Structure 1
Amino acid sequence: MDIETVKTLFYQQKMAYSPSTPPSYETRMDRLSRIEDLCKNHITEITEALQTDFGSRDPDLIFLADIFSPLSHAKYVKRHLKKWMKKEKTSSGVLALTGQRAYIVHEPLGVVGIMSPFNAPVSLALDPAIDALAAGNRVILKLSESTPQTATLIKSLVTEYFQTEELTVVIGEAEVSRVFAALPWDKFVFTGGSETGKHILRAAADNLTPVLLELGGKSPCLILDDANIPEVAEKIQRVRLMNGGQVCISGDYVLLPEKHLEAFIENVLETAKTAYPSIIDNEDFTSIIDSRAYDRIVGYMEEAKAAGSRLITSNPMNEAVPDATTRKIPLTLVINPADDLRVSTHEIFGPILSIYTYENLDAAIGYINKKPKPLALYVFGNNRTEIDQIIHQTSSGGVTVNDLLMHADAKEMGFGGVGYSGMGRYKGGFIGYQAFSNPKSVVEQGFLRRFTGRFIPPVKSDRLREMLRRQVGVK
């Protein structure tokens, strides 16, 4: 798609938007229903497109990551939308006795741009689109150029189900993405890497575009002394291998007491063998998205090995992996790598799991706090005091205790990062609706309107002047 077409689509939506004609409840519900129909009626086509783009991707994972998520999200939003659209009453305190009324009207922002990444390109486009459409906005999607078959399919399907002025899709390479991000949006959503997020902010600055960034980072799994090691080991490795490790909120590294190290390694390898008895010809084992990402991850492994780190690979059939042809990399454990290695400093976004041992909880918390704030933090154990200490002495986008990923799908809490892992939140019910609305404050004055003019400077009455000062404790 050429640049001029992208701009034409944008300004077509801009011209269609008007604050005087916000979409009705019925219109918004219809748009959400069409999102549901798009997903439900084309599961096979979406699955095949994603498998083509990845080379190998588990169909169950595709359903869970790219189809189940928007369907579940749309269902929840539709159930609550009528309540969210009502004006939100706020307290006027004692002034209510004078007839004053205060409330918030959540009005649409206008035109919203959304850029989704390759790892879950459908859901990470449609999930924020559902929030934006529910809030009454018009939306343009830009799916990752790393998943061209999926992007082309979604463009075709959106064109079938929606008018251009409601929801549309642009496709293209990096130059299209650059121009797309720089348009004067009323809100922009980007999911991807932190370094690219910096470019998005620079592009948005000229138009003062409000930006929601979901960026990822190195999410720690902190295992306490009383944790159930076999259970924890299986959960961490299953999520780490999900989508070939290309999940922004999977555990990037593990911190655990030294005495549990070998038991943890043993259980990880045993459960990984059960889940993935083979690699190269196993369609459940997802490929790395492209050769550049494959080379980057293999480079991390080679650097750690050359530095003398202990590397342990899950390769039950002793296959020739990593395999550049299928771009499949086995689960690789890196034990206590040096702090200056890239497995320690960079978000891996692949099937490498670094494991660090700690002497005491304060040291583990200190290690987490030395790094940029992560998108997620996972705690495993039962000691209430220690769990609370971790929650209150670390900073992250969200926390799940004794499981993984769960906070990202909580219906009443927004999902997002903090600091280097992002800014702003969407999903999470009303929080997602608010993310794409302007909370317009409205005050309707009561009979005090007859007297408030007397308090506007210059104040002519000593009595009124003293009254104002007493309100804030000034003599």
Structure 2
Amino acid sequence: MQDILAEQRAAFMAELPVPIAIRKDRLNRAAAMIADNADRFCDALSEDFGHRSREQSMVTDIGGSVAPIRHAIKSLDKWARRDPRAVQFPLGLLGARAWVEYQPKGVIGVIAPWNFPVQLVMGPLAGIFAAGNRAMVKTSEFTPATAALFEELCPKFFALEELAFLSGGPEIGKAFASLPFDHLLFTGATSIGKHILHAAADNLVPVTLELGGKSPVIVGKSADIKQTTERVALGKMLNAGQICLAPDYMIVPGDQERAVVEGLKTAASAMYPTVLANPDYTAIVNDRHFQRLTDWLDDARQKGATIETVNPANEDFGASNARKMPLHIVTDVTDDMTIMQEEIFGPILPIRRYDGIDDAIAQVNAKDRPLGLYYFGTDVAERTRVTDRTISGGVTINDVVFHVSMEELPFGGVGPSGMGSYHGPDGFKTFSHAKAVYQQPKIDVAKLAGIKPPYGKATLASVKRQLK
């Protein structure tokens, strides 16, 4: 890994400045690597998960990878322009100029997660290549077929000094995070993010952390319950809930709780009338995560929760080893239950009641700041109060998850849900160094400003102007 990093950095330094045409060429090759091998990536994803919906993979990992790359190609000339800045009076009149140049940082490390193991590699690469960098990617050990396919295909599209893929378990991940990259992007669990930050600190590597947390849904009294529950069920059951932005719990008016539960059951049953043999429904990624979710349901049940399983075909999940888990709606939840303390990352949806919108806001603010927050309703004043009085990485109004798909919006968390952001122009800037450049005019500015000794009246006049 150290040899690859040294080779990439040497090639990067030799190439500076990185022409826009070369950046676009790398972006085009990145898009082709995915688009030309879409079927093989879908096969690998399904192998890794035990079963993964092919159509879902095409939308989330194939289309979701190529689209941001195409957006970067289209926007790169605009993003890369010199950014003129004002200079203090009267220097501008005397010929002084100032601007910001966006310069590539060098070699970017990417540690990718298992839940969207193609998109969460290629999405960051859109910004990394657009900014003119090289990249090394550590893939997840939980998706070995996808990792192996990347390692097979990458040399056909990129030289090793441009892009390299590395796979392996925790020890490889630890060593990778300790490399002296010019920037490191980690996507994954908050608990692991802490270790990544420690590892990067020894080399003062700037870090972007895309973590997770408990993203809440606040259902306002003015919400359309049918529309709300359909959209929440869709977002919760996509990838079987294995999404960092999945709605993690709902907060609903007490008198609408039953209507919300029934709406969720109706919506889930309409989308997935069967689960076990349904090609549209994805499995839990491995036995450990399946057992974790099962244990958390047992914990909630033992502590007094009511659990309703959405199983319209009355299938026998206990007799199956397919790791297919239907939607579980959990009511009467309390804060001592694990499902209200940890990010769920699966098809379990707790529902909490609230008494007045300020109570709902207080419930959200009692927990760590989430990656996403979702508000449903038509009451503008209430919506504004929710968005003003809560802090989250991003917000989607009257739907869930969708803000992540808007390439012109920054995507990132805040506090325990992450630091820094990327996507679109924000990704370009994250992976660029904003270099300040000031050009002095021919006139002796230091003497004019009174900062050249011997000091005198001009000095005092300059200080007086500064203090105004």
Is the contact made by 2:50 and 2:283 (CA closer than 8 Å) also made in structure 1? yes
Identify which of 469, 472, 475 aligns with 2:464: 469
Aligned to 1:437: 432
Q: Secondary structure at the match of 2:317?
A: coil
Aligned to 1:103: 99
Aligned to 2:253: 257
Alignment-mate amino acid for residue 186 of structure 2: F
Aligned to 1:38: 33
Q: 1:11 to 1:453 in 2, by over 3 A?
A: farther
Identify which of 206, 212, 216 aligns with 2:212: 216
Is the contact made by 2:87 and 2:98 (CA closer than 8 Å) also made in structure 1? yes
TM superposition score normalised by structure 1:
0.96
Matches of 1:323 and 1:449 in 2, distance apart?
Answer: 85
Q: Does 1:311 align with 2:307?
A: yes
Matches of 1:210 and 1:314 in 2, distance apart?
Answer: 45
Is the contact made by 2:97 and 2:440 (CA closer than 8 Å) also made in structure 1? yes
Aligned to 2:269: 273
Count of equivalent residues: 467
TM superposition score normalised by structure 2:
0.97
Aligned to 1:334: 330
Shift of 1:324: 6.3
- Measured against aligned partners, the alpha-carbon deviations of 1:56-114 in whole angstroms (never above 9, x if no partner) come to 11111101111111211011111111122221111125321111111011111010000
Shift of 1:465: 2.0
Alignment-mate amino acid for residue 251 of structure 2: L
Aligned to 2:343: 347
Aligned to 2:290: 294
Matches within 5 A, 1:1-150: 6-18=1-13, 21-94=16-89, 95-150=91-146
Alignment-mate amino acid for residue 63 of structure 2: F
Aligned to 1:3: none
Is the contact made by 1:189 and 1:213 (CA closer than 8 Å) also made in structure 2? yes
Alignment-mate amino acid for residue 291 of structure 1: D
- Judge which range, 442-451 or 79-88, deviates more: 442-451
Matches of 2:162 and 2:421 in 1, distance apart?
Answer: 23
Matches within 5 A, 1:397-412: 397-412=393-408
Q: Secondary structure at the match of 2:221?
A: coil
Q: Secondary structure at the match of 1:295?
A: helix
Is the contact made by 1:243 and 1:286 (CA closer than 8 Å) also made in structure 2? yes
Q: 1:8 to 1:467 in 2, by over 3 A?
A: closer
Aligned to 2:185: 189
- Judge which range, 402-411 or 32-41, deviates more: 402-411
- Measured against aligned partners, the alpha-carbon deviations of 1:119-178 in whole angstroms (never above 9, x if no partner) come to 001110111111011101000111111000000001111111000111111111111111
Alignment-mate amino acid for residue 182 of structure 2: D
Q: Secondary structure at the match of 1:455?
A: coil
Matches of 2:109 and 2:192 in 1, distance apart?
Answer: 16
- Measured against aligned partners, the alpha-carbon deviations of 1:25-80 in whole angstroms (never above 9, x if no partner) come to 11111100001111111111000000000011111110111111121101111111
- Measured against aligned partners, the alpha-carbon deviations of 1:392-444 in whole angstroms (never above 9, x if no partner) come to 100000001011122112222210000000000110x2111000000000011
Is the contact made by 1:294 and 1:324 (CA closer than 8 Å) also made in structure 2? no
Matches of 2:359 and 2:137 in 1, distance apart?
Answer: 44
Q: Does 1:248 align with 2:244?
A: yes
Matches of 1:467 and 1:97 in 2, distance apart?
Answer: 17
- Judge which range, 279-288 or 7-16, deviates more: 7-16
Q: 1:452 to 1:69 in 2, by over 3 A?
A: farther
Q: Secondary structure at the match of 2:124?
A: helix
Identify which of 216, 232, 235 aligns with 1:236: 232
Shift of 1:380: 0.1
Matches of 1:323 and 1:128 in 2, distance apart?
Answer: 41
Identify which of 378, 384, 389 aligns with 2:380: 384
Matches of 2:347 and 2:5 in 1, distance apart?
Answer: 38
Matches of 2:258 and 2:367 in 1, distance apart?
Answer: 26
Is the contact made by 1:323 and 1:329 (CA closer than 8 Å) also made in structure 2? no
Is the contact made by 2:113 and 2:188 (CA closer than 8 Å) also made in structure 1? yes
Is the contact made by 2:304 and 2:332 (CA closer than 8 Å) also made in structure 1? no
Shift of 1:466: 3.8
Q: Which runs of 5+ in 2 are unaligned?
A: none
Shift of 1:456: 3.3
Is the contact made by 1:258 and 1:357 (CA closer than 8 Å) also made in structure 2? yes
Q: Secondary structure at the match of 1:249?
A: coil
Matches of 1:366 and 1:318 in 2, distance apart?
Answer: 39
Instruction: Give every structure 1 segment of 4 or more consecutive aligned residues whose post-TM-superposition deviation is greater than 6 Å.
Output: none
Matches of 1:98 and 1:456 in 2, distance apart?
Answer: 17
Aligned to 2:159: 163
Matches of 2:441 and 2:318 in 1, distance apart?
Answer: 73
Matches of 2:319 and 2:138 in 1, distance apart?
Answer: 31
- Measured against aligned partners, the alpha-carbon deviations of 1:366-391 in whole angstroms (never above 9, x if no partner) come to 00000000000000000000000011
Q: Secondary structure at the match of 2:13?
A: coil
Matches of 2:113 and 2:357 in 1, distance apart?
Answer: 35
Matches of 1:349 and 1:259 in 2, distance apart?
Answer: 28
Q: 1:116 to 1:324 in 2, by over 3 A?
A: farther
Is the contact made by 1:291 and 1:324 (CA closer than 8 Å) also made in structure 2? no
